[in-house]
Structure 1
């Protein structure tokens, strides 16, 4: 996982292996990819 400088990953966020986080990611989400994108909100899983 690569996180660019100044980028914030929200609490309880899950980042996939080999992802590149280029912008802030909100809390309670699953993100993956290069660049990382939101795949699912953890509240949707319940």
Structure 2
């Protein structure tokens, strides 16, 4: 399930059974194998947390 206000980059893959929390950001081309917490910024293959989004429209690394 992809939560409200979550952003998923182009060519990302979210595997079966994985959830992306509210306001989370998934970087382009990422492979998300585990659920992503609300407000987390993830990127890579496999996706790892690289930062956090404090409020809608602002990210902190």
TM-score for the superposition, normalised by structure 1:
0.88
Structure 2 portions without partners, runs of 5+: 1-11
> Which residue does the alignment assign to 2:26?
15
Secondary structure in structure 2 of the residue aligned to 1:9: coil
**Higher share in strand:** 2
TM-score, normalising length: structure 2: 0.68
Aligned residue-pair number: 45
- Whole-angstrom CA distance in 2 between matches of 1:42 and 1:34: 20
TM-align CA RMSD: 1.3
Off by >3 Å, runs of 4+ in structure 1: none
Q: Please, which runs of 5 or more residues in structure 1 have no aligned partner?
A: none
Greater per-residue helix proportion: 1
